[in-house]
Structures are given as structure tokens and as C-alpha cells.
Amino acid sequence: MDTMDVIGVYYPTLDESPFTSEEDMKSHWFLFVGLLCYLLKDEMDSNLPTLKSRVGMGYQEDDVDKVLLPSFVGTKRGDCYSPEIEALYRTLIKKGSDEYPLCRVLASKLSDIEKLAVLLAYAAEKNRKYGQLFAGFICKSDKSVSPATVGICMDMARFFIPDASPVSLLSPDSYVNRVILNNKPDIYKNGGMSREFTLRGNVMGFIEGGYPVLSAMEPFSWILPEVSGDETVCLTSVRDELKKALENSEVVELCGSEGSGRRFLLSMADPDKIIICVDMKVIAESLTDEVMEECIGELIFASDSCGCIPYLWCQGGPSDYERSLRRFFTGLYKEVGVFVLGVDKPISDSIIGGCADAIYRIIVPEVTSHHQKTLWTEAAKDQGLSFKKGYSLDVLVSKYVMSPGRIFEVMNNVAAVNEKSTIDEKILEEQIRRCCSVQFGENATRLSSPFTWDDLMMSPESEKILRMAADRVKYRSTVNEDYGFAKKLPYGRGVAIVFYGPPGTGKTMAAQVLANELGLDIYRIDLSQVSSKYIGETEKNLGSVFEAAKNSNAILFFDEADSLFSKRTQVSSSNDKYANAETSYLLQKIEEYTGVSVLATNNLQNFDAAFKRRMTFMIPIELPDEETRIRLWESVFPEDAPLSSEVDVKIIAHVAELTGSSIKSAAVSAAYMAAATGRKITWEDLIAAIELEASKSGTLGLGTRLREAVLTGID
């Protein structure tokens, strides 16, 4: 039977019209592979009936003379070439369509011999009979199955590819072997033309499912084209700039802080594309060089087959995994038209080296308060929620400076616990604080904030200033954005408050009341951990504190701040020089911090004029007067405390000039004395407790004066 007759058996009718379905397409290609198998077997049988294979595993022939005769070599490569088979192959290629994954693979960067290798590998995977045929060609058992080999592929290529070469199939660095085939050389088995090959798992998954399935899933995540969001949320100019860079197939460095919306902007710049995010930290920490190469191959295939955009996410800075980033960069730059680096700060040229001619750098600016309000509204809408009527988004974005990523994360958490369609303000603030929680390690401790304005006993003037400080935080969005003052304040948009006054007057409580009013977490910075005798260590520790707090919306509370903010002096020694440097550095970090910094000190005179000028509010917390002491004594005992009716707190307040902290300590001590004997809290318990408190400051005779006042009454 000549070639045309064989083609007629396999393809009675064939035109150039597109395949009618994916099944139609696959059946035509399987017929083509079957045709080549038939031709190869027929050619082998006609050459030598007992010959099983000339291509990979040796000959099976009883007559050695026949093997050695020159005529036994059979036809030369190319003698079996058939223009009709090539025409059939070209027609099948032409009938393909991008809607079929297999056709996309065949239409990629592959040569004809490589496309044939893909067809053979796929046929062996899908139908056992092809594996049995391949096993027969290489002298295996009739019942066994085998993948195709390079030799089988080359023998079949003779029928329709005039100049077929096995070089790319044998080279481990070729595109087809790095991206499409599992075809690795083995010095002990299946070397050279006998080497077996199969399709990579991700390629097989793509052909079967239409998506570039990734076999090494841990470092990958996805952004699918169905990303929702209002375009008004995006920073339009940045989105358009990014879109243009992607259209020009440039390598893009997208710089922005964590949660600034880099991936969101990327998805909006080209909404039809799938973004594959690669966590470079996971790559560097857990993957071997071999697996790393597989990951690169999978990304290249995803880019070629579906136009996916690889996004290399460098969490915490690329210098932490420079080697892995450089390897990925080099591997992708050779094969992928465009990919994006997501970094917090611009990467150094030393990491990229000579890998790329140029990188297009785009800086993602921080979202304005206006954008944050839009984001909150959109995030609530996505979850089927709405804010209560009259709820002030201006106050929300003033108190909590949130990135786009965190806003959507918070609203997702709110939706999980919110029982109504309207957003509960308390639940919202709880989720915000949970999302913004920060770990300072040993450098800070979180304080509870149970106190309200009613608990705060301070002068009306000081309370007025403290309320002004709270308003400064609540309405900074209105003033900075709506009134335009942001243009006048390139830095120093945070709020820095100093509480000064004698010990025990309530400076810490005032900070806690402020935190409660604003709904913000407050952290006491442990100055014993921050301060260091070694040069430069204090600045380093302070830098880590402010870096950790950068996106936390936390109040930083520096108690006894004069230990760090001592008045700068003339430099008479190296110690003076470095002490001044520490003070200047801390002032700089407070100015840069966009949140609230609170400093408490007993000695305001230790601070110089430059320091005071940089503080937003200076609030005195003075010793309580008699009227204030009466209120403190009246409020210090809980309702359940068994206070004797004979006790008159006005007498105590008149005689004992105690601070709020001392009053609380005395009340607690008196309660323990009463509890130890199972009776009510009496005058004697209170006088003994007050004497104990007075002794701490060296005050003598206070108990005697109190007893006299109890007997004689207040004059």
C-alpha cells in the first residue's frame, strides 16, 4: 500500500476548515500519530522482518552476516520523506485554534520535531496502545508500555520533516526540555537517542484543563482576571503607566509598601491577564536548585501558553534572597516578554547586574484619604454591607491610615462576624486593630485602655488641650485633604504629645484615655531595652521600633522620656556627641511617624527649645488640688468595697496632699488590711495605708495630722 493509500485510510476526507471541537482536534492528531506508527512499523518490517528496532536498544537478528552487510543499514534518513505526509501535517496545524490548549502548545516556540515530540508524549499519556507500540519499537515486551524516545521521534520525523535534527531534544538547556518535556539525561540509563521523554505535569494539566497548572504550588498564588473593583479606586496615572509598560513588554519594578495595592494595580492595568505571584521568600528558603529550575520553567510555560504575567514578590526586601532573585530574573528574562518585580524599595543594580538592559521603575504612592474612603465603601459593598447612616468616613480614615490590601482584609473579616447588613462600629474597630496588630518583641508592651474621660482627674485647661489632641487625630483627613494643608505639610503629619508633671499624677492614664477615645492600641516603649551603651545601637533599636509601628496605627508611649530626650549640650566629649545624635535621631523618627507619639516626663526642664518646638501639644499634668482629691477619693472605691460609713474622704483630701496614683495605692492597701481581719475598711486602715504611701516620699507625721483632723473635724 503506497503512502497516499495509507493517508486515505486514516483520513478519508480532510479539508482546511477549523476543528469543530476539542475532541475533533485531538482525534485528528491521534490519527496522525497512529499513521506515523504504522509507517514506521511498515518500513521496519519491509527492511528486515525480524528487525524490532534500529533506534535505541540494538538489533535482534540471528544471522550476524546480515547485520554486518552494508545493505542492512536500510534506507538513509530522508529517503522515506513524503510531501503528502508533510502536507497533511501542515493542514492539521492550520486547522488549529487558540481556544484549544493543545493547539496553543503546538503553536508556541517549538520547531516541527519538538511539536512531534509533544504529540508522541501526549498520545502515550492518553492511550495505552501508543505506549505499547513504542515499547515494541525498542524491543520491550509486547505487553509492556513505554514513553516515546528521541530515536522513535527522529525515525517518525523522517516521513515529513526533511531537515529534522535531534539537537534540541538532546540538549538539557533547550526550551522544549526546560519548559515542555521531562527529558533529563541519565548517564546510567536511556542516554542519547534512547532517551525517553514525557510531558511535564503542568503542561499535561494545561492541555487537559485549559489553565497552566503549577506542580510546585507552595510559592505560587493567583490573581484571576475576574478581579472586582471600581476603577476610581485605582491611582489612575500609575495604572495607565503600568499598562503602557506591560504593552511594551518591559521588565517592571513596582515599588510600594506592603498592602499598597501593587497587585491590585497590576490586575487593573491588564484585567484580561492572569497574574501568577511568586513568593521569593518561600523560593529562597525551601526550594532546591532543581525545583527552582522547574518553577522557572512552569512560569515560562504559563506566560507562553496563557499570557500570564509572572509577579516576583520580594517581601521584606530583595537583599534577603539575592541569589534566588538573580537566578529567577535571569531565567525569565531570556524567555518571557514581560514580568514584574514587586518590591518595597528600589532594588540595587548589583542584584540584577547585567541581566537586563533596563528596568522600568514605577513608584506606587500612598493612597490619599479620599481614596481610602472610596476603598472602604467599595470593600463594604463587595461584602454586601453598608455603613450606618451618619457614620463619618472622614473620622475613620483620619484615625486609621490603611493600605488597600488591609482595607479589603478588614472588611472580609467584618463580614464573617457582623450579623447585620449594617456595619457595627465596634466590630469594625476590633477587626482594624486586629489586622494592624504589631510585634515589637522585647522593645514594647501593649497597655490596656479601660479609662474614659470620667476617670481622668486633671485641670480643665489640661483636659481641653488633650481633647484638642484627640480632635487633631480625628479630623486630620478633613484638614489635610479637604482643606489642602497636606501640600503645606510634606512631613510631620503625625501628632506628638508631651505629658509633663510630678510622678503619680496620671500621665499614663491620660495616654490610655486618649487611646480609648481614638480606638487605637497603645504600646509602652521599654527604654531599658531600647537604650544601649554601644555606639549606634540605640538608634538601631529606635529605628526597629518605628519600622515595626509604621503600618500599625498604634500610639507609641515613651514613659520617662527625659532619659532619651535629655537637653542637648555643647560637645565637650565623644559621649556628648553621641548623646546628641541619639536625641536628634529620635526627634527625626517622631516627625516621620504618621501616627501618635506620646512622651511622659517628670522634668520638662531637661528638654531644650528645639525639642519643644517639634511637639504638637505640651500638656501639664499637675498635682491635684483639694477639690480634685475629693473626687479621686470618692471614685477610688468600687461599689462592692465595704467602706465604713464613718469614713469622710473630704477630711483625707483636705489633710493628705496625695497624687492620684498614691490615692489608689492607699485605697487598695487599706482594703487588704480590712480583708485580712474580715471587717469593713475603717479610718485606721486608711490612715495606716496613707502613712505607708507618705513614707515612700519621705513625708513624716501625716498619720498624726489625719488622726487629729478626724477628732476635731475640718476647720
C-alpha cell at 145: 508500555
Look at residue 293 in the predicted model and tell me its pLDDT: 83
Edge-to-edge strand order for the sheet containing 275-279? 220-223, 275-279, 309-313, 340-343, 252-255, 360-363
C-alpha cell at 610: 528645639
Look at residue 338 in the predicted model and tell me its pLDDT: 83
Residue 74 has pLDDT above 50, yes or no: no
For the segment 512-559, what is each residue's pLDDT rounded down to a tens digit?
Answer: 999 999 999 999 988 777 777 777 788 888 888 888 888 788 999 998
pLDDT band for 118, please (50, 70, 90 cuts). Answer: very high
- Rounded to a whole number, what is the largest CA-CA distance in the chain? 139
Mean pLDDT of the 88-98 span? 94
Cβ(478)–Cβ(392) below 8 Å: no
Q: Please give, one letter per residue, the 3-state secondary structure of 214-237.
A: CCCCCCEEEECCCCCCCHHHCCHH
C-alpha cell at 395: 473620622
Residue 191 has pLDDT above 70, yes or no: no
The residue that leads in pLDDT, 495 or 63, is 495
Look at residue 116 in the predicted model and tell me its pLDDT: 97
For the segment 19-70, what is each residue's pLDDT rounded down to a tens digit?
Answer: 999 999 999 999 999 999 998 888 777 654 444 444 443 444 444 444 444 4
The residue that leads in pLDDT, 489 or 498, is 498
A 10 A CB-CB count for 672 gives: 11
Range scoring the smallest mean pLDDT among 12-21, 230-239, 382-391, 699-708: 230-239
Range scoring the smallest mean pLDDT among 68-77, 165-174, 201-210, 364-373: 68-77
Q: What is the pTM of this model?
A: 0.66
Query: 369-395 in b/e burial notation, b at 16+ Cβ within 10 A?
Result: bebbbbbbbbbbeebebebeeeeebbb
Minimal CA–CA distance to 502: which of 664, 652, 624, 629? Answer: 624
What mean pLDDT, rounded, does the chain reach? 82
Mean pLDDT of the 148-153 span? 92
Look at residue 612 in the predicted model and tell me its pLDDT: 82
- Judged on CB neighbours under 10 Å (0-12, 13-18, 19+), 14 is middle
Look at residue 352 in the predicted model and tell me its pLDDT: 62
For the segment 369-414, what is each residue's pLDDT rounded down to a tens digit?
Answer: 888 888 899 889 989 999 998 899 999 999 988 888 888 889 999 9
Look at residue 230 in the predicted model and tell me its pLDDT: 44
pLDDT band for 219, please (50, 70, 90 cuts). Answer: low
pLDDT band for 591, please (50, 70, 90 cuts). Answer: confident
Q: Please give, one letter per residue, the 3-state secondary structure of 97-113.
A: CCCCHHHHHHCCCCCHH
pLDDT band for 186, please (50, 70, 90 cuts). Answer: low
Backbone angles phi and psi of 309, in degrees to 5: -105, 115
Helices 507-518 and 460-474: crossing angle in degrees, nearest 10, is 40
Residue 569 has pLDDT above 80, yes or no: no
Minimal CA–CA distance to 43: which of 132, 156, 203, 187? Answer: 156
Cβ within 8 Å of residue 211, ≥6 positions away = 205, 274, 306
E-strand spans in 369-506?
Answer: 444-447, 495-500
Look at residue 64 in the predicted model and tell me its pLDDT: 44
Per-position DSSP letters for 269-317, written without gaps between them = HSTTSPEEEEEHHHHHHH--HHHHHHHHHHHHHHHHHH--EEEEE-TT-
Look at residue 571 in the predicted model and tell me its pLDDT: 46
pLDDT band for 468, please (50, 70, 90 cuts). Answer: very high
